[in-house]
Amino acid sequence: MIAMLTALLEVMLPVFVIAGVGFLLARRFTIDQLSLNKIQLYALTPALAFSSIMDTSVSASDVGDLARGYLGATLVLGLVSAVAVRMLAKPVRNGVIASVLLGNNGNFGLPIALLALGQSGLDRAIVIFMIAIVLIWTVGPVLFGAAPSVRSALVNIARLPVIWAILLATVFRLVGIELPGGLSTAVHMVGNASVPMILIALGIQLGYGKRVRFGKTVITAMLLKLIVAPLLGWGVCWLLGLRGQDLQSVVLALSMPTAVNVFLLALEYDKDAETIASIVAATTLVSLVTISIVVSQLGALV
């Protein structure tokens, strides 16, 4: 209980306080979310990714372990979810599976990884975030009824500046290029601003959302996403040989709530976006408790 309260106060409370600021701003003022999202997409997140890769101590073997663990756990989770959703109406099944598989490893996952596991945890979270981005723009459309070609999927991914920032930083690391002092400082300053800003943006998104509709579909998605996913992830990753902070990072990533992008995909393909919006909001709010429990147990996974 003490460990859980510590996790709640030291990790989750800062996250929800900062997101709460965004929520209150959305209730009080009219905020241009599109412009805010562009700042995140084209400046803050790429700068954070670039500076983290340039400074990271994560080895190539760690990257391989993280990818193997996260993708392996996601595959098994998908199979379990496909069985679990058979109790639900057929039109909502794939939406629930998408909500379970595609977590918020950006707005939520990066700040929590930093607070729970420190800089090395953030470095690993960025690797997982990159994998999650690929899954969102490939698996996501398929689950919502579209069958994108390899070309269209690659185009969607290539449009994301964070991918190019990660690739550029990786090349710089491999060939030994370092940014000049002043430029490096500027990139780090922009990157450091990303964590509070993406949480404020998340709060603004929730502030403009509709009231959550709790029902069988939403509750099923919540149980699978917030309870089954981290437990299953721990088991799969343990069997795959992950240990230490690699194991902690994957389990923490799998405990994140549903990604907002799942709602955007539901809107794009006209697949009960209102229910998906409720799942996004419900998993985000309830994760205050569930992620606190996960964080309190991370020490046992070393």
CATH 1.10.10 fits 2-293, yes or no: no
Burial (Cβ within 10 Å: 0-12, 13-18, ≥19) of residue 211:
exposed
Statement: residue 68 has pLDDT above 80: yes
Backbone φ and ψ of 103, nearest 5°: -95, 165
Domain range annotation of the chain: 2-293
Pair 244, 67: CB distance under 8 Å: no
Task: Write the pLDDT tens digit of every residue in 165-200.
Answer: 989 998 998 899 999 989 999 999 999 998 888 888
Q: What is the pLDDT of residues 231-267, one digit of tens each?
A: 999 999 999 999 999 999 999 999 999 998 888 788 7
Which pLDDT band, with edges at 50, 70 and 90, does 2 fall under? low
Quick check: 202 pLDDT over 90? Answer: no
Is pLDDT of 84 > 90? yes
User: What is the pTM assigned to this prediction?
Assistant: 0.84
Query: Tell me, what's the pLDDT at 56?
Result: 81
CA–CA dist 115, 10 (Å, integer):
8
- Of the pLDDT bands very low, low, confident and very high (cuts 50, 70, 90), residue 57 is confident
Q: Quick one: pLDDT band at residue 150, thresholds 50, 70, 90? A: low
Q: Which residue has the higher pLDDT, 111 or 137?
A: 111
Position 149 confidence tier, pLDDT thresholds 50, 70, 90: low
Q: Give the lowest-confidence range in 69-73, 98-102, 129-133.
A: 129-133
Dihedral-angle region of residue 36 (phi above 0 means left; psi in -120 to 50 means alpha; beta otherwise): alpha
